[in-house]
């Protein structure tokens, strides 16, 4: 880990509270997909159901973190688009390729063994789009199961390509972050209205079908939140109190199954207040090595949990001679979660980190920073 002493704009180098937040968000997405697998008679949690909207918080976090990391390089004239893209490829592709290769092997083995699966979602076109991370750039009537969660990587990749334009807007409005925030919120409202007309659903439901529209305003909102946070000075008590209130309000909205768009809106103060915790450099349990490592490995957890779930259900259904749509018991889900966490940690340490280092050394000639959010 790098030092947590303030470096620029009052923020520490490693925003450990926000890194830890990623772990909670990723676990929420996992639990959402797990809840779809258990018998409804066992109960239903609205909070878990709304945890699918953690993806929107991830999009805002991306804008926030990249504004923190790269923002100062623009007025200084030191920003390199080539190095930026190399860093983004190093961030996404080692793990993406590893998981996608695993799914490809799974599909080939299943086909050879005569295992039933839906061929409409495992097409050559879908594989190529997923490989290139463009599957969320176009309208789609059929989702691609090659690497289900990677639709959000496709959206992230689109935003990365546009980052200089985002940074230019943010730099022009550096002293007016409220205006930048307004533009992000206005953009969300406009795109949501257009998306509703096109697809008949709200913007936070966009995934394979033009999921890039979902990140476009949220990435900007994240950059605006960074602009606000760097201008404020809060005491530790204020940061703790505000983050507690923001967290409670978000969970309350999720529990009462309020409109998706309201839940997404409440994710913004959550990110801002947790960033202020990071700014005090006294984030408590959120800055512990275990919490930070969990956040750093959350990307692996997010990507690998669906392939492992599909693989388990496919194998179990064949062994039991039942349909793969069977309900899983709590014990099965608990065991699968333990295996998934272990696999995520192994992929993070054995694939993601060394792959990232290799790419950046190969194409940048330098070792990347160890911060898990860069």
* Domain boundaries of the chain, sorted by first residue: 6-364
pLDDT for the residue numbered 365: 67
In this prediction, residue 75 carries a pLDDT of 78
User: Within the chain, which residues score under 70 in pLDDT?
Assistant: 1-9, 116, 281-282, 365-374
At residue 368, the pLDDT reads 55
Does residue 184 contact residue 221 with C-beta atoms inside 8 Å?
Answer: yes
pLDDT of amino acid 369: 56
Signed CA dihedral, 185, 191, 197, 203: sign only: negative
What pLDDT is stored for residue 9 in this prediction? 65
Pair 74, 171: CB distance under 8 Å:
yes
Strands (E), the chain: 6-8, 11-12
pLDDT score recorded for residue 372: 45
Q: What is the pTM of this model?
A: 0.94
Question: pLDDT tens, 19-72?
Answer: 999 999 999 999 999 999 999 998 999 999 999 999 999 999 999 999 999 988
**Widest Cα–Cα separation across the chain:** 64
pLDDT digits (tens, 9 = 90+) for 112-157: 887 767 777 888 999 999 999 999 999 987 777 898 899 999 999 9
Please choose, from the candidates 273, 280, 221, the residue with its C-alpha nearest in 3D space to the C-alpha of residue 245: 273
CB atoms within 10 A of CB 18: 23
Looking at every residue in the chain, the average pLDDT score rounds to 92
């Amino acid at each position: 880990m790098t030092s947590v002493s303030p470096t620029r704009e009052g923020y520490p180098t490693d925003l450990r509270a926000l890194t830890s937040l990623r772990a909670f968000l990723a676990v929420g997405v996992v639990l959402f997909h797990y809840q779809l697998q258990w018998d409804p008679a066992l109960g239903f949690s609205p909070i878990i159901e709304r945890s699918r909207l953690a993806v929107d918080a991830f999009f805002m976090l991306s804008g926030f973190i990249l504004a923190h990391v790269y923002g100062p390089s623009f007025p200084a004239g030191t920003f390199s688009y080539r190095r930026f893209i190399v860093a983004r490829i190093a961030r996404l592709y080692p793990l993406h390729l590893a998981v996608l290769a695993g799914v490809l092997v799974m599909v080939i083995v299943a086909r050879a063994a005569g295992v039933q699966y839906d061929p409409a979602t495992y097409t050559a076109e879908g594989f190529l789009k997923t490989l290139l991370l463009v599957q969320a750039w176009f309208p789609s009537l059929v989702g691609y199961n090659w690497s289900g969660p990677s639709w959000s990587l496709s959206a992230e990749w689109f935003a990365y390509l546009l980052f200089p334009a985002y940074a230019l807007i943010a730099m022009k409005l550096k002293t007016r972050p409220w205006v930048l925030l307004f533009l992000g919120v206005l953009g969300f409202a406009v795109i949501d209205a257009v998306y509703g007309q096109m697809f008949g659903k709200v913007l936070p439901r966009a995934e394979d079908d033009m999921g890039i529209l979902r990140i476009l305003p949220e990435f900007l909102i994240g950059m605006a939140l960074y602009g606000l946070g760097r201008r404020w000075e809060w005491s530790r008590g204020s940061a703790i109190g505000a983050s507690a209130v923001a967290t409670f309000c978000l969970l309350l909205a999720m529990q009462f199954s309020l409109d998706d768009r309201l839940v997404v809106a409440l994710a913004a103060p959550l990110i801002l207040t947790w960033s202020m915790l990071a700014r005090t450099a006294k984030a408590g349990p959120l800055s512990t090595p275990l919490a930070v490592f969990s956040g750093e490995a959350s990307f692996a957890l997010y990507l690998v949990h669906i392939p492992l779930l599909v693989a388990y259900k496919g194998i179990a259904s064949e062994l039991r001679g039942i349909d793969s749509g069977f309900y899983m018991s709590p014990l099965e889900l608990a065991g699968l979660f333990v295996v998934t966490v272990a696999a995520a940690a192994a992929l993070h340490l054995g694939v993601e980190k060394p792959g990232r280092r290799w790419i950046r050394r190969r194409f940048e000639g330098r070792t990347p920073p160890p911060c898990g959010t860069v």
